[in-house]
Amino acid sequence: MTKTRVSLAVVKRLPKYYRYLGMIEEKGIIRVSSQELSAITGLTASQIRQDLNHFGGFGQQGYGYNVEELRSEIEKIIGINKSYKAIILGCGNIGKAIMNYKGFKSSGFNIVDVFDHGDKVGNKIFDYEIKDVDKLDEYLAENKPEIAIIAIPTEQAQKVCDRLVEGGIKGIWNFASVDLKLPKNVVLENVHLDESLYTLTYYMNNLFDYPGTKN
Amino acid sequence: MTKTRVSLAVVKRLPKYYRYLGMIEEKGIIRVSSQELSAITGLTASQIRQDLNHFGGFGQQGYGYNVEELRSEIEKIIGINKSYKAIILGCGNIGKAIMNYKGFKSSGFNIVDVFDHGDKVGNKIFDYEIKDVDKLDEYLAENKPEIAIIAIPTEQAQKVCDRLVEGGIKGIWNFASVDLKLPKNVVLENVHLDESLYTLTYYMNNLFDYPGTKN
DNA sequence: TAGATTGTTAATCGATTAACAATC
DNA sequence: TAGATTGTTAATCGATTAACAATC
């Protein structure tokens, strides 16, 4: 009995479940049925039950799901019960936005250091003294951060990515507009802002195709 | 003969085609086959031909596609040959990052004004004098921007969204962690950074499920 | 026990891939 | 004309939805 691969579509819905469960937990609601979850998330009850069952039988017939338990299970599945050491590459606009984003620390993400090159090295931005990207390799060997956040110009991204992989990084959150090449034991998640914006303009100009809020 | 709806999956691939075509056009390459495009994009040749044929027969049997022509067609399809007036709601980290992001203006996106409330009103950030969100409604009536970028805290997002819709906004690029409710003639595109980050940690913790760079 | 709701199997729907005739 | 490669139809694959037996 080999576990069957959980599809990307399912994985992308987990944060949504987590978010809504947090909201109803805060309201003091104890139990919830797939039908009620359907009403607030806009997904079908059937899909919700299918999705959750990939990870275990968290519900109970005739009762539904215990909100607190389900939320905590999903938290574990996503892996946000742990804490992570992250570094940021690039202290431009996006780098700064992430440095300063309170939401992360509270979810167990610790931005331990920030790298850039040239003039910027040594500057202090939001409590971070910018480190020299030329010394990245030694840094990785010594400090073993798990996550690297790429917020540097497109042209430099692949090169830095290679060094990150070499240095043992486990996950890369990439904000540069490139499809980075890396071995598949290092996880890549892209935030391609330009592609997102283009999707917006596409639908503004082709309203007929717009599926509504299904994305 | 009614046009059949173009699926979200196809629409999300258009920016990718656009980006790679730009790259090979810069190299001075004149023609390209679906097979060559397959090699650089990682998509199958069959899928590429299917995708492009949703929008017209841009290719030629025995020849392939003319790079410049195809790129320019996709540009029109996505709608980035036009220019857009955009406003930003919120001058926090993300608001600032977008204000300052050069890539946008060059693609025809003009950030004409930035709104916030309280102390921040009247401040000057990157050439923008922050306007009062309380005066948003009059502003919209007068200036008719097409795109609004929501970069304010989650709790306030829906309310501001309602006013944007009321004021005739055509597209919303939303950075707040909420599923905004709006009529389906207003286009919504979300950038949910927390969900993206959770996808990263999920796969870091469940490498078996990781599909590689298929997203 | 009766009612509710899950977990799970089967049916449907949609998207991707394969194949090939059309045609440059 | 022969070779190449598209446009398009058909086959396959996968994801979503529907249905219902299991069970709390």
Strand D, nucleotides < 7 Å from a protein CB: these are: 2-9, 14-19, 22-24
A77, A101, A203, best to mutate vs chain B, most B CBs in 10 Å: A203
Q: What distance in Å separates the CA atoms of residue B2 and residue A206, rounded to the nearest whole number?
A: 15
Would you list the DSSP string of B34-61? HHHHHHHH-S-HHHHHHHHHTT---EET
List chain B domain ranges: 8-78, 84-195
Residue type at B168 in one-letter notation: G
Evaluate whether B145 touches B87 at the Cβ level (below 8 Å): yes
Strand order in the sheet with B31-32: B31-32, B64-66, B59-60
Instruction: Compare CB distances from A196 to B84, B107, B191 and report the shortest one's residue.
Output: B191
Q: So what's the pLDDT on residue B2?
A: 58
Say what the pLDDT of residue A103 is: 77
Give me B132's structure tokens: 């009062």
Burial class of residue B23 in the structure, from the number of CB atoms within 10 Å of its CB (0-12 exposed, 13-18 middle, 19+ buried): middle
Residues of B in contact with A8 (CB under 8 A): 211, 214-215
pLDDT at B137 over 80: yes
- Indicate the pairing of strand A147-150 with strand B59-60: unpaired
What is residue A215's predicted lDDT score, i.e. its pLDDT?
43
- The three-class DSSP label of residue B143 is helix
Distance from residue A50 (CA) to nucleotide C12 (C1'), in Å?
Answer: 16
- Hey, is the C-beta of A154 within 8 angstroms of any chain B C-beta? no
Q: What is the mean pLDDT of residues B204-209?
A: 97
Q: Token pair of A42, please?
A: 């806009």
B7 touches strand C (CB under 7 A): yes
A33 touches strand C (CB under 7 A): yes
Closest CA to B100 of B61, B55, B151: B151
The reply to whether B84-195 shares the fold of B8-78 is no
- Burial of residue A175 (CB within 10 Å: 0-12, 13-18, 19+) is buried
**pLDDT on residue B214:** 54
Distance from CA of A139 to the nearest CA of B (A): 21
Interface of A with B in 112-151 (CB under 8 A): 146-147
Give the pLDDT confidence of B47-75 residue by residue, as tens digits.
999 999 999 999 999 999 999 999 999 99
Closest residue to D5 (CA to C1') is: B62
Determine the distance between B82 (CA) and D9 (C1') in angstroms.
36
Is the Cβ of A2 closer than 8 Å to some Cβ of chain B?
Answer: no
Which pLDDT score is estimated for A2?
A: 58
Q: Which amino acid is at A59?
A: G
Tokens read off for B131: 């306007």
pLDDT of residue A4: 83
pLDDT at B1 over 50: no
Return the number of other C-beta atoms located less than 10 Å from residue B27's C-beta: 7
* Residues contacting residue A198 through CB under 8 Å, at least 6 positions apart: B14, B15, B18, B78, B80
Q: Which residue reads 């947090």 in tokens?
A: A22
pLDDT at B94: 95
Mean of the per-residue pLDDT values for chain B? Answer: 95
The alpha carbon dihedral of B34, B40, B46, B52 has a sign of negative
pLDDT tens, position by position, B7-53: 999 999 999 999 999 999 999 999 999 999 999 999 999 999 999 99
**CATH architecture for the domain at B8-78:** Orthogonal Bundle (1.10)
User: Residue A176 CA to nucleotide C21 C1', Å?
Assistant: 43
Ranges of residues in chain A with a pLDDT under 70 are: 1-2, 214-215
- The CATH number of the structural domain formed by A84-195 is 3.40.50.720
* Tokens found for residue B171: 């597209």
Structure tokens belonging to residue A59: 């519900």
